[in-house]
């Protein structure tokens, strides 16, 4: 016997002393398909004995249900059973309150009424008691279109446009469904034009042809160099200036500093073996291409 059939027997045992009657009711609706009447009666008698042991204190139902699956799933099973009998949502809720007491779910549109509407008109042997997933197809397509048209669009702008919360936009649509993530652009030395890329390609092709023709001798003949400004003073980064202090201590202060205005040009040259020359440009001298 499955958890659904057990939950229904549990509910009926708390409402009736006639074990055979409610066992027959279960079998008539075919909710116990594949389960014998004797098995239904056996479980019902066990629950009634457990209820008697608690001397009618009113909290025995929760203790019994703890041995089965989640309490909410059990109550949904009861709703399906009673809805198949034609009971109204209000009547179902009233009967469930007698059994589940303070653990009973509410009558609002989100609970009992919702599940009565779901089960209404369906074959109880085929009804699947699970939450219907909300469809985000329309929202997903609209959000995807907004992101593709503007990669820097903010989540608040998306939420306002599609009438969703920022949390849902972030956690469900962007992160989980569409798989987008915010990334920072990487700094590059310069943006090359098509002509500049073509020139570099031609130069690399010439170098490759020379290497194929001359081999290692060509690599040994290559000399290259670079230059960079070296400042007299470089300010420390934020992490280097951090200090340990108590929560009640005032925050430390520091003056905003920038790289020193005084600087000198550093030039370095190297070949296949490594650096072979480096120098600092003397004051008053200039370097041109």
Does 125 score more than 60 pLDDT? no
pLDDT band at 9 (very low <50, low <70, confident <90, very high): low
Cross-strand pairs, 277: 269
Given a cut of 50, whether residue 111 has pLDDT beyond it is yes
pLDDT for the residue 187: 76
User: What pLDDT was estimated at residue 260?
Assistant: 55
DSSP 106: P
Cα distance between residue 87 and residue 185, in whole Å: 61
Can you list the positions of beta strands (E) in the chain?
224-231, 263-271, 274-280
234 band by pLDDT with thresholds 50, 70 and 90: low
Q: Is the pLDDT at 268 greater than 70, yes or no? A: yes
pLDDT digit string, tens, across residues 137-159: 777 888 888 888 888 888 888 88
* Mean pLDDT, range 203-217, rounded to an integer: 93
Q: Give CA–CA dist 15/191, Å, rounded.
A: 79
The reported pLDDT for the residue numbered 237 is 66
The residue with greater pLDDT, 29 or 76, is: 76
Q: What is the pTM of this model?
A: 0.31
Has residue 59 got a pLDDT over 70? no
Q: What sections of 120-264 are H helices per DSSP?
A: 137-149, 155-162, 166-168, 194-214, 216-220
Please tell me which residue, 48 or 224, carries the higher pLDDT value. 224
Q: Does the pLDDT value for residue 205 go beyond 90?
A: yes
198 versus 80: which is more confidently predicted?
A: 198
Q: How confident is the model at residue 195 (pLDDT cuts 50, 70, 90)?
A: very high
Mean pLDDT, residues 252-259:
60
Q: Which residue has the higher pLDDT, 20 or 220?
A: 220
Pick the most confident of 44-53, 119-128, 207-216.
207-216
Closest C-alpha among 14, 64, 22, 68 to residue 41: 22
- Give the model's pLDDT for residue 10: 63
pLDDT higher at 129 or 29: 129
| pLDDT surpasses 60 at 275 | yes
Q: How far apart are CA 286 and CA 121, in angstroms?
A: 91
CA–CA dist 231, 12 (Å, integer): 86
Q: How confident is the model at residue 6 (pLDDT cuts 50, 70, 90)?
A: low
Percent of the chain with pLDDT over 90: 10
CB atoms within 10 A of CB 276: 11
């Amino acid at each position: 016997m499955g958890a659904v059939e057990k939950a229904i027997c549990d509910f009926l045992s708390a409402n009736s002393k006639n074990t055979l009657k409610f066992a027959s009711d279960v079998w008539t609706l075919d909710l116990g398909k594949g389960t014998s009447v004797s098995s239904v009666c056996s479980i019902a008698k066990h629950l009634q004995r457990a209820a008697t042991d608690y001397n009618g204190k009113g909290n025995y139902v929760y203790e019994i249900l703890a041995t089965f699956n989640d309490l909410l799933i059990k109550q949904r099973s009861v709703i399906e059973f009673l809805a198949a009998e034609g009971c109204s949502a209000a009547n179902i809720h009233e009967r469930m309150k007698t059994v589940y007491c303070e653990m009973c779910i509410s009558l609002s549109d989100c609970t009992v009424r919702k599940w009565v509407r779901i089960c209404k008109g369906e074959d109880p042997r085929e009804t699947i008691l699970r939450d219907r997933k909300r469809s985000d197809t329309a929202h997903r397509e609209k959000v995807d279109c907004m992101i593709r048209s503007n990669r820097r669009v903010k989540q608040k702008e998306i939420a306002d446009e599609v009438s969703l919360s920022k949390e849902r936009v972030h956690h469900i649509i962007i992160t989980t469904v569409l798989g987008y993530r915010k990334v920072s652009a990487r700094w590059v030395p310069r943006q090359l034009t098509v002509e500049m890329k073509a020139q570099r390609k031609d130069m690399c092709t010439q170098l490759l042809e020379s290497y194929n023709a001359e081999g290692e001798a060509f690599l040994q003949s290559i000399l290259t160099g670079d230059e960079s400004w070296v400042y007299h003073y470089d300010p420390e980064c934020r992490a280097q200036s951090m200090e340990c202090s108590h929560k009640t201590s005032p925050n430390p202060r520091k003056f905003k500093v920038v790289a020193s205005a005084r600087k000198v040009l550093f030039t370095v040259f190297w070949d296949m073996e490594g650096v072979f020359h480096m120098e600092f440009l003397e004051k008053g001298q200039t370097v041109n291409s």
